[in-house]
């Protein structure tokens, strides 16, 4: 499945400045693997050293947070829009 991935300003530098890219995968994890293969600068920005979603990144499939779905195993289709947002901390 080829899905649209929307990148925050912070990560666009790793994708030649693109606000949105497409990547192929049946799950968010597969999609991220394809995305980091095409844009190596994103390596380590999305997935941590243990293979889990980086704790400073929020990922949504359409409007649903994948942390409350199947995390990286969340399925994606051609119609889905994946949004990557940096976590916001307050204090």
| Total domains present in the chain | 1
- Identify the bridge partners of residue 70 per DSSP, sorted by sequence position: none
* 41 located within any domain: yes
Please give the torsion angle defined by the CA atoms of residues 87, 73, 68 and 17, in that order, rounded to the nearest 10 degrees.
30
Predicted confidence at residue 55, as pLDDT, reads: 87
* Rounded average pLDDT over 15-36: 95
The span from the CA of 77 to the CA of 55, in Å, is 24
Predicted confidence at residue 80, as pLDDT, reads: 95
Tell whether the model's pLDDT for residue 89 goes beyond 80: no
* 91 located within any domain: no
Predicted confidence at residue 42, as pLDDT, reads: 92
* Rounded average pLDDT over 20-29: 96
| Domain CATH for 72 | 3.10.20.30
* 22 located within any domain: yes
- The two beta strands, 81-86 and 64-65, are unpaired
Residues 27-64: tens digit of each pLDDT: 999 999 999 999 999 988 999 999 999 888 999 999 99
List the domain range (segments joined by +) for residue 55.
2-86
Predicted confidence at residue 65, as pLDDT, reads: 96
pTM of the model: 0.91
Rg of the chain, C-alpha, whole Å: 12
Nearest to 26 by CA among 81, 62, 89, 75: 75
Residue 59 burial by CB count (10 A; 0-12/13-18/19+): exposed, middle or buried?
A: buried
Predicted confidence at residue 87, as pLDDT, reads: 81
């Amino acid at each position: 499945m080829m899905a649209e991935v929307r990148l925050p300003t912070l990560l666009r530098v790793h994708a030649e400045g693109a606000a949105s890219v497409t990547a192929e995968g049946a799950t968010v994890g597969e999609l991220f693997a394809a995305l980091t293969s095409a844009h190596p600068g994103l390596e380590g920005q999305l997935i941590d050293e243990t293979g889990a979603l980086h704790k400073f990144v929020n990922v949504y499939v359409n409007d649903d947070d994948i942390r409350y779905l199947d995390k990286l195993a969340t399925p994606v289709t051609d119609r889905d829009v994946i949004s990557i947002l940096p976590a916001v901390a307050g204090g």
